[in-house]
Amino acid sequence: MPSDRVAVVRDLTDCQGRVLARRGDELSAQAVGEAAARARPAPARPLSGSVVAEDVREPFGDPAYRHIFRSPEEQSAAVRALLAAELPGILHQELALLRDQDWPRYRHGIATALIAARMLRAAVGEARALPDLAGAALLHDMGMRHVRPELVRAGVALDRITALEIASHPVLGAYHLATVLGRHPAVDAALGHHWRKGRGYPRLAAPPPRSVEVIAVASGFAALTQARPFRDAPFDARGATDVLVGDAAAGEADLEAVQLLVHVLRGGRGEARQVVFGREREGHAPPGNRHAPVARLVAAA
């Protein structure tokens, strides 16, 4: 069973060098909640005034997202939701730094936010919570900034020690965001996006909110359709969907969130809950894939 406790192996610092947690500290979902309760969030301003505004349309050039955003209106609605998200200045700075240091991860956040905004809009329309949830999706992998970059870039087979360090990113990211934002959907998204119906990490006392399940599926789709060092090529949209449908069938992804993804891929007409999955087909997965799921390595540790 994966643990919910994470040992901090290097001081956890923000982009200005402020220490958020010390080496040797132990963090957990409970520590995240306590940090959120202690936080005094600084004034927030919309992402329309951040670097994200310059890059937000970049993912639309990717053929993997063509079916999700079929019309200029659907693209603009997702962009509007994301750029309306309001975050304190220090997170605008974190995003600018991430853009300079790790473009693929920065782009992964933007793609996840746009896909999640599209899915949530299909589910609930123009809800008031949409910008906050899009902002949460943008920041869900913030904790990866606290994992040694060579671990994720090496493209070598993961061992358990490496897997454990990577598996710490939800708690580290949620803790970081809780110190800045207090209670906020971004904290839930960071903490819960690898929960995988209790088969992922970290262990949580209660399932994450439904919106986090949507963000988790959006993140999965964005990750599968991007280049990664451990596979020869990205999955195409169909292949990525097959993986997520398989995860849902195995009880490792939220069925309704996967149905919602397939619903928007098919144009968003009718009811998402009535979506029937197509059959898995050959030829949509990359030929060489050395991916070792972190969740399985952590569970075995």
The two structure tokens encoding residue 181: 């934002």
**Among 7-15, 67-75, 215-223, 232-240, the segment contacting Fe ion (CB under 5 A):** 215-223
- In this structure, how many other beta carbons lie within 10 angstroms of the beta carbon of residue 84? 15
Q: How far is the CB of 270 from Fe ion (least distance, A)?
A: 29
- In terms of CB distance, is 132 or 141 closer to Fe ion? 141
Considering only residues 282 through 301, tell me which ones interact with Fe ion, judged by CB under 5 A.
none
User: Considering the rule CB under 5 A, would residue 188 count as an interface residue with Fe ion?
Assistant: no
Check if the beta carbon of residue 64 is closer than 8 Å to that of residue 225.
Answer: yes
Check if the beta carbon of residue 223 is closer than 8 Å to that of residue 289.
Answer: no
Out of 50, 168, 219, 225, name the contact with Fe ion by CB under 5 A. Answer: 219
**Among 135-143, 156-164, 199-207, 259-267, the segment contacting Fe ion (CB under 5 A):** 135-143
Report how many residues bind Fe ion under the rule CB under 5 A.
Answer: 2
Under 8 Å CB-to-CB from 190, ≥6 apart: which residues?
139, 140, 141, 142, 143, 170, 173, 174, 176, 177
Q: How far is the CB of 191 from Fe ion (least distance, A)?
A: 11
One-letter amino acid of 243: V
Q: Give the CB-side neighbour count of residue 204, counting CA atoms within 13 A.
A: 23
- In terms of CB distance, is 141 or 165 closer to Fe ion? 141
User: Considering the rule CB under 5 A, would residue 211 count as an interface residue with Fe ion?
Assistant: no
User: Considering the rule CB under 5 A, would residue 141 count as an interface residue with Fe ion?
Assistant: yes
User: Considering the rule CB under 5 A, would residue 165 count as an interface residue with Fe ion?
Assistant: no
Check if the beta carbon of residue 179 is closer than 8 Å to that of residue 35.
Answer: yes
- Binding residues for Fe ion (CB under 5 A): 141, 219
